[in-house]
Amino acid sequence: MQISVTFKNLDPSDHLKSYVQNKLDKLDKLLDNPAEANVVLSVEKIRHIAEIKIIGDRLNINCREKTNDMYSSIDMAVDKLEKQIKKNKWCSRIIN
């Protein structure tokens, strides 16, 4: 999976970037075809926001999570993505 990480109102951190990459690599196993992930990590006042967009062959999934901690925002967003990917795969099996 090709992953691009963007930081808004936040100092770029290699640790955060590698954390996101490790989390999204686990999702790569669920995908049938190669996909591209765009991640935006931002801070607004005390809210830490993680936005993740995955674009693939027949796949376009977005999610956004806000918490007081960036790591928990990333974890919650990845959990949401995992559920959406599984739901999408299940629906596509029914249609086919």
> Strand 47-55 and strand 60-67: pairing?
antiparallel
Give residues with Cβ within 8 angstroms of 77, minimum separation 6. 50, 51, 52, 63, 64, 65
**Tens place of pLDDT per residue across the chain (96 aa):** 899 999 999 899 899 999 999 999 888 888 878 889 999 999 999 999 999 999 987 788 999 999 999 999 999 999 999 998 888 776 665 655
* Residue 53 pLDDT: 95
Give residues with Cβ within 8 angstroms of 50, minimum separation 6. 39, 40, 41, 64, 65, 70, 73, 74, 76, 77
* Residue 96 pLDDT: 55
